Structure 1
Amino acid sequence: MTFQGWFLILGFTAIVVALAKPIGLWLFALYEGRRTPVHILFAPVERGFYRLAGIDPAQEQGWRRYAVHMLLFNAVLMAFTYAVLRLQAVLPGNPQRLAAVGEHLSFNTAISFTTNTNWQSYGGEGTMSNLSQMLGLTIHNFLSAATGIALAFALFRGFARREAATVGNFWADVTRITLYLLLPLCAVLTIAYIACGVPQTLAGVVDVQTLEGARQSLLLGPVASQEAIKMLGTNGGGFFNANSAHPFENPSALTNLIQMLSIFAIGAGLTWTFGKAVGNTRQGWAILSAMMVLFLAGVTVAYGAEAGGNPVLHELGVAGGNMEGKEVRFGIAASALFSVVTTAASCGAVNAMHDSFTALGGLVPLFNMQLGEIVIGGVGAGIYGFLLFAILAVFVAGLMVGRTPEYVGKKIEAREVKLAVLAIAVLPLMILGLTALSSVLQQGLAGPLNKGPHGFSEILYAFTSAVANNGSAFAGLTASTPYYDGLLGVAMWVGRFFIIVPMLAIAGSLAAKKYTPEGAGSFPTTGALWVGLLIGIILILGGLTFLPSLALGPIADHLAMIRGQLF
């Protein structure tokens, strides 16, 4: 590890914390339905949408109606994307004349982008036309991100409101978030990426002459615009197969830093928004503090493992850290940081291949996802996932010290705890169940490139990434088969919506409750003790649930490596 590496890591962390309040203020204005600086541009568009759809944005919805409208909206989007991919060959915007996407791959991709997972069982530049990238995929990048933030707003209202029957209007939330937050920020980011050398064109292929005098065809497209929302919306689906390791997606150290900051920006801002919504910004800072402690712990382990390198190679006289699978443009520190950022924030983008990380270096991204990606997390999904753990933590604290289980003025009772447990249990049930199934079936065992613990890690990582709606991969698993496309598609859908519905039920239950002011019997939820308890609950639940699977995969892989055994 080097001074420059730690300077990058700590500097990045400081910038994220500094951005939390200004972005949180913008988000809070949208949460309350107030005007923002860009209303003068987009307010007529917003009103036009409402008139066209026959929606009254002032008419609020109970949690059930909010959930039904959200589910129908996403189901229609998924069907639309499936149709675009299947009809790709006859639609315009296909300069390479690519064939229609196959049935099982279209199914997998449509679910993937609908759920904000952006898992890719395909090479983007060789499979998707420009129209498919823009109409089928980039639109999802906006709307799946807006859906996540809207759902976080609904839960915030549950905590903030008193004896209310509604949690907001889904259509108004999604429209305002898209128009007044995502579109303006992406316009700025797109221009910045173009200035840094990222292509933005409708051309399909450009022929160039190499330094050796040969001719080479370079694939191009509307990359910068997709790159902007890919990172800001914590989507992660790359225009190119190599994702952010490709120089057209991520040409320099500057774009690498911008991308990482984009991934964390909105998620960090939502913590401040939550504190403001419940009338105590210290609550938001406490949540962000717990997230940052977990984040820095993960970075420390991943960076240390990659900088330490492979002892087997050291014995052969090859000194230095582990550069396998990493871009020399970024090096070990930036690659390790990027891997932790993207898996902490539900963004499947990669600038290095996780399959080539050391065993412990690859364990950190895997564990981040198994925790539910609540360390910043996906836009909206991270904060509402974290609040589910907060509900359990305050309940456990009440049991341990005999105090009333209250959180931000709302009593936490049996209904909320049961719903929180139900939502949190989705991840281990799906991840471990599908991994076990694929580890014994012939169709599942045909996927991993490696055998032994590393091959098991490839299967475990794939289902963890799918259920957690991350989308990154170990890159050693052949997933473009009917078996994996189908099963991973189901895993992505369950991992997204089987958590959202119980969460919305919690929002509705909390909104209907009276406000309970803090008293002598209330457990404090803003200090260091609360932050430590939150971290402990998260790690204990994650550790107890997933430690056996990690022992069979990356931990066994690490022990074999230090014994000198390579697979």
Structure 2
Amino acid sequence: MLTDFFGICIIYLVTLLLAFPLGKYIASVYAFRSSWHDRIFQPLESFIYSLSGIDPKAEMTWKQHLKALLWLNLVWFFWSLLILTNQGWLPLNPDKNPSMSPDLAFNTAISFLVNCNLQHYSGETGMSYLGQIACLMFLQFVTAGTGMAACAAVFNAMREQTSTTLGNFYVYFLRSCTRILLPISFVAALGLAMEGVPMHFEGKATQINLSGDTIQVSRGPAAAMVAIKQAGTNGGGYFGVNSAHPLENPTYLTNLIENVLILLIPIALVFALGYYLNRKRLAWMV
């Protein structure tokens, strides 16, 4: 019991130690302060803006923010339905898992779209690798980015004391994904993969268990999905039982990483509020 107590203390201590600098970094991202990583991300962001016809300098009201959010979510909803109802014959399906029925696809798409991640399927038998990546993992990124973009708009409204010029939703959204979620998830996925979480595109492995029975062990690109599942405070995991699965959370270190990840950004956003408004005491009060 004492070991469990110390483990919990370590999780919160590590989270706080990482949340301070991350909160400062998030505030600088939303405040558009110049940094060395601009050389990495600005070309990618500029390409996306030009490709989609977005003017990153255009100011938006709260109504325009809401409209942009809803339209994006509508597009992602139909994209998810398309993937889930056709995954059975699409590529990256070595285990030959079937397509979802329309009602299950609707439930899954809505669930992941609103970031509650209700699962009425088991990932081992109900999802192809393409479905896991192009639908579920994609939604885990963009829905977390959507929430963070809305949070950035609130930060701006509190600082500027207005609801008419709140910045650009698309800019906040893209910066949340490229400059915050993607780097954190990339580093976390590397750590998880090094600790034994599967990260490849091979099909099920045939193994003989301790009873002498031949079993099929599901694998796939789990580390990448687990990383954003935790970092984006999502619920839907790669396997049916999520982080209770031995391949999704195989060691004490992966358990530490995953618990820190799911707490990190929410706590960092509280500190980001203090840095963004230059009112650090407010962050501690929150």
Asked if TM exceeds 0.5, the reply is yes
Q: Percent identity?
A: 35
Is the contact made by 2:62 and 2:166 (CA closer than 8 Å) also made in structure 1? yes
Equivalent residue, structure 2, for 1:98:
97
Distance in structure 2 (CA, Å) of the matches to 1:277 and 1:103: 44
Is the contact made by 2:61 and 2:163 (CA closer than 8 Å) also made in structure 1? no
Distance in structure 2 (CA, Å) of the matches to 1:34 and 1:28: 9
- Give 1:9 shift: 2.4
Distance in structure 2 (CA, Å) of the matches to 1:84 and 1:70: 21
Q: What SS does structure 1 have at the residue aligned with 2:97? A: coil
Deviations 1:183-218 (A, max 9, x none): 111111111001100000111211123345442211
- Give 1:87 shift: 1.1
- Give 1:35 shift: 3.8
Equivalent residues in 2 for 1:40-439 (5 A)?
A: 40-163=39-162, 165-287=164-286
Structure 1 residues 227 and 37: alpha-carbon distance in aligned structure 2, compared to 1, 3 A threshold = farther
Deviations 1:404-447 (A, max 9, x none): xxxxxxxxxxxxxxxxxxxxxxxxxxxxxxxxxxxxxxxxxxxx
Deviations 1:162-197 (A, max 9, x none): 456211211111111111111111111111001100
Structure 1 residues 164 and 110: alpha-carbon distance in aligned structure 2, compared to 1, 3 A threshold = closer
- Give 1:45 shift: 1.0
Deviations 1:471-517 (A, max 9, x none): xxxxxxxxxxxxxxxxxxxxxxxxxxxxxxxxxxxxxxxxxxxxxxx
Is the contact made by 1:39 and 1:180 (CA closer than 8 Å) also made in structure 2? no
Distance in structure 1 (CA, Å) of the matches to 2:10 and 2:180: 25
Is the contact made by 1:205 and 1:217 (CA closer than 8 Å) also made in structure 2? yes
Q: Please, which runs of 5 or more residues in structure 1 have no aligned partner?
A: 288-567
- Give 1:56 shift: 1.1
Structure 1 residues 37 and 222: alpha-carbon distance in aligned structure 2, compared to 1, 3 A threshold = farther
Distance in structure 2 (CA, Å) of the matches to 1:211 and 1:5: 29
Is the contact made by 1:89 and 1:97 (CA closer than 8 Å) also made in structure 2? yes
- Give 1:39 shift: 2.9
Is the contact made by 2:28 and 2:276 (CA closer than 8 Å) also made in structure 1? no
Distance in structure 1 (CA, Å) of the matches to 2:187 and 2:24: 19
Letter in structure 2 aligned against 1:231: Q
Distance in structure 2 (CA, Å) of the matches to 1:194 and 1:19: 21
Distance in structure 2 (CA, Å) of the matches to 1:86 and 1:248: 27
Q: Please, which runs of 5 or more residues in structure 2 have no aligned partner?
A: none
Is the contact made by 1:93 and 1:131 (CA closer than 8 Å) also made in structure 2? yes
Q: What SS does structure 1 have at the residue aligned with 2:146? A: helix
Distance in structure 2 (CA, Å) of the matches to 1:127 and 1:262: 26
Structure number with greater Rg is 1
Structure scoring higher RCO (CA < 8 A, sep ≥ 6) equals 2
Distance in structure 1 (CA, Å) of the matches to 2:162 and 2:47: 33
Task: Give the root-mean-square deviation of aligned CA atoms.
Answer: 1.4
Deviations 1:62-100 (A, max 9, x none): 000110010010111011101111111221111122221
Equivalent residues in 2 for 1:501-516 (5 A)?
A: none
After TM superposition, the score normalised by the length of structure 1 is 0.49
Is the contact made by 1:207 and 1:215 (CA closer than 8 Å) also made in structure 2? yes
Q: What SS does structure 2 have at the residue aligned with 1:116? A: coil
Distance in structure 1 (CA, Å) of the matches to 2:257 and 2:162: 43
Equivalent residue, structure 2, for 1:458:
none
Distance in structure 2 (CA, Å) of the matches to 1:31 and 1:126: 41
- Give 1:135 shift: 0.4
Distance in structure 2 (CA, Å) of the matches to 1:163 and 1:116: 28
After TM superposition, the score normalised by the length of structure 2 is 0.96
Deviations 1:31-57 (A, max 9, x none): 112344433322211110000011111
Deviations 1:235-270 (A, max 9, x none): 121111111110110001111111010001111111
Distance in structure 2 (CA, Å) of the matches to 1:163 and 1:75: 28
Is the contact made by 1:69 and 1:170 (CA closer than 8 Å) also made in structure 2? yes
